[in-house]
């Protein structure tokens, strides 16, 4: 197995963007539970995100969701973030919470509603220009609930047309990233249900359009690392939304449901050249902390990704290739498992300390008193959630 010391330069490259909305309340259609200390404003969300980076040095940027994170002055918001040691990242559009979008947004039969949805993306690009964001991420909730409700083919054509209009506004240093999702909120068909659909749509747009892979948006049993390898091969893997799932789009902490799957995904990321700043692949969390504390939940998440990345970097690639080429099934599998079963936590703690961090970020945050402080300070106002 590769030596831990030799992988620390690569580990130092790691950056995992945090979603502002992970710090607000979330839940299911049945109930959203509130918690003391939940942010009320974009600023408070960013302050919480900065705590994650303070203790882990893993999350230098925060993604915004428009309109949930709308402010009057994005330059000021950026300054504020930078003053806390983080920067603003991906801008996420939202075309699923306006009554006009009941039957679609970029795919709607009515050109006026399509234009409204396109205009919303223009607004997002304007914000990107102010925040200095590189990526516009589009997750499309469009779809239908009943066979016959919509014209699947027509909707796909209209989607292509709408995306083309948005893409035309994307700046030279910017990218459009299109996310796919198997189902929900639509239950019969989703207009971008799989990587194939996202791929053909972004391929038609051009080089600045890429696929976003959310680890929770696949059919049961899907081999996600295969998709990672394929998209890297095609040069079209733009970003990850990390989370985990047992059933549907559970949005649990990344690595919580199937840590071995996360390991395999990260192994293919590295093997395919998708790791590191130059790769062009953005790593991001997209999770819902419905019943657990949010800041510690995010800390656990970035640590999970870091620990699994370390394990994946430890794989002895040369030995693996030799075993694969020899048809040594158990040997090859054993080389992979050897890295997975290695406990990287002590070495990571030591390395963190060598960089001036606490060896145990989770405990250090808990001891910091921040949680008690925000619970005491953030009284009144409306706690942030998926509506704000």
* Sites for a copy of itself among residues 174-193 (CB under 8 A): 182-185, 187-190, 193
Binders of a copy of itself in range 39-58 (CB under 8 A) = none
Q: What are phi and psi of 207, to 5 degrees?
A: -65, -25
Q: Are 57 and 355 in contact (CB under 8 A)?
A: yes
Report if residue 115 touches a copy of itself, rule: CB under 8 A: no
Q: How far is the CB of 371 from a copy of itself (least distance, A)?
A: 12
**CA separation, residue 240 to residues 190, 209, 265, 281 (Å):** 20, 14, 11, 7
Each residue 346-385 as x (binds a copy of itself by CB under 8 A) or -, in order, gives: ----------------x-----------------------
Q: What residues numbered 278-317 form the site for a copy of itself, per CB under 8 A?
A: 290-293, 296-297, 300, 307
Q: Does 268 bind a copy of itself (CB under 8 A)?
A: yes
Pick the closer one to a copy of itself by CB: 84 or 388. 388
Residue 63 C-beta: closest distance to a copy of itself, Å: 17
Number of chain residues interacting with a copy of itself (CB under 8 A): 102
CB of 134 to a copy of itself, least distance (A): 25
| Contact between 26 and a copy of itself per CB under 8 A | yes
At its nearest, how many Å lie between a copy of itself and the CB of residue 331?
Answer: 9
**125: alpha, beta or left? (left if phi > 0; alpha if psi -120 to 50):** alpha
Select from 115, 129, 174, 230 the one that contacts a copy of itself (CB under 8 A).
230
CB of 209 to a copy of itself, least distance (A): 16
- List 229, 284, 313, 384, residue binding a copy of itself (CB under 8 A): 229
Q: Smaller CB distance to a copy of itself: residue 129 or 276?
A: 276
User: Is 320 an interacting residue with respect to a copy of itself (CB under 8 A)?
Assistant: yes
Q: Which is nearer to a copy of itself, 155 or 208 (CB)?
A: 155
| Interface residue with a copy of itself, options 24, 37, 150, 361 (CB under 8 A) | 150
Closer residue to a copy of itself, CB minimum distance, 5 or 29: 29
DSSP lists the bridge partners of residue 319 as none
Q: Minimum distance from CB of 101 to a copy of itself (Å)?
A: 8
**Contacting range for a copy of itself; rule: CB under 8 A; set: 65-73, 117-125, 332-340, 369-377:** 332-340
**Alpha-carbon span 272 to 213, nearest angstrom:** 15
Rounded least distance, CB 291 to a copy of itself, Å: 5
173 binds a copy of itself per the rule CB under 8 A = no
Does 342 bind a copy of itself (CB under 8 A)? Our answer is yes
User: Does residue 172 bind a copy of itself (CB under 8 A)?
Assistant: no
- Give the 3-state DSSP-derived string for the chain, with helices as H, strands as E and coil as C: CCCHHHHHHHHCCCCEEEEHHHHCCCECCCCECCCCCCCCCHHHHHHHHHHHHHHHCCCCEEEEECCCCCCCCHHHHHHHHHHCCCEEEEEECCCCCCHHHCCCCCCCCCHHHHHHHHHHHHHHHHHHHHHCCCEEEEECCCEECCCCCCCHHHHHHHHHHHHHHHHCCCCCCCEEEEECCCCCCCCCEECCCCHHHHHHHHHHHCCCEEEEEECCCCCCCCCHHHHHHHHHHCCCEEEEEECECCCCCCCECCCCCCHHHHHHHHHHHHHCCCCCHHHCCEEEECCCCCCCCHHHHHHHHHHHHHHHHHHHHHCCHHHHHHHHHCCCHHHHHHHHHHHHHCCCHHHHHHHHHHCCCCCCHHHHHHHHCHHHHHHHHCCCCCCCCCCC
Select from 112, 330, 377, 380 the one that contacts a copy of itself (CB under 8 A): 330
Contact status: 34 vs a copy of itself (CB under 8 A): yes
Q: Does 207 bind a copy of itself (CB under 8 A)?
A: no
Which residue of 8, 250, 276, 388 would you call a contact of a copy of itself, by CB under 8 A? Answer: 250
- Asked whether the CA dihedral 62, 64, 70, 72 is positive or negative, the reply is positive
The nearer residue to a copy of itself, 75 or 109, going by C-beta atoms, is 109
């Amino acid at each position: 197995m590769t030596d831990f010391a030799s992988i620390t330069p690569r580990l130092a490259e790691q950056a995992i963007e945090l979603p502002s909305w992970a710090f607000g309340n979330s839940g299911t259609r049945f109930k959203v539970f509130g918690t003391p200390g939940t942010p009320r404003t974009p600023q408070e969300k960013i302050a919480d995100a900065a705590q994650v980076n303070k203790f882990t040095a893993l999350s230098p940027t925060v993604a915004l969701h428009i309109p949930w994170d709308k402010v009057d002055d994005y330059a000021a918001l950026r300054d504020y973030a930078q003053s806390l040691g983080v920067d603003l990242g991906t801008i996420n559009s939202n075309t699923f919470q306006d009554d006009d979008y009941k039957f679609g947004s970029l795919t709607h039969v009515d050109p006026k509603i399509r234009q409204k949805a396109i205009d919303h993306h223009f607004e997002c690009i304007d914000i990107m220009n102010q925040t200095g964001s590189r990526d516009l991420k589009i997750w499309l909730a469009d779809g239908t609930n009943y066979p016959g409700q919509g014209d699947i083919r027509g909707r796909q054509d209209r989607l292509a047309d709408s995306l083309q209009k948005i893409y035309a506004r994307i700046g030279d240093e910017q990218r459009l990233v299109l996310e796919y999702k198997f189902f929900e909120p639509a239950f019969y068909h989703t207009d971008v249900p799989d990587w194939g659909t996202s791929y053909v749509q972004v391929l038609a747009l051009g080089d600045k359009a890429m696929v976003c892979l959310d680890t929770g948006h696949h059919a049961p049993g899907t081999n996600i690392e295969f998709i990672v390898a394929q998209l890297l091969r095609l040069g079209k893997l733009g970003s990850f939304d990390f989370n985990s799932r047992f059933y549907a789009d559970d949005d649990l902490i990344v690595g919580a449901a199937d840590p071995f799957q996360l390991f395999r995904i990260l192994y293919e990321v590295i093997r395919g050249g998708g790791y590191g700043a130059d790769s062009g692949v953005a790593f991001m969390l997209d999770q819902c902390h419905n019943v657990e504390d949010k800041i510690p939940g995010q800390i656990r998440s970035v640590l999970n990704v870091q620990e699994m990345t370390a394990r994946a970097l430890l794989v002895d690639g040369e030995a693996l290739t030799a075993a694969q080429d020899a048809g040594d099934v158990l040997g090859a599998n054993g080389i992979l498992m050897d890295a997975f079963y290695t406990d990287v936590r002590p070495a990571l703690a030591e390395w963190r300390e060598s960089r001036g961090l606490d060896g145990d970020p989770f405990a250090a945050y808990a001891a910091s008193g921040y949680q008690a402080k925000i619970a005491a300070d953030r009284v009144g106002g409306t706690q942030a959630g998926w509506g704000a």
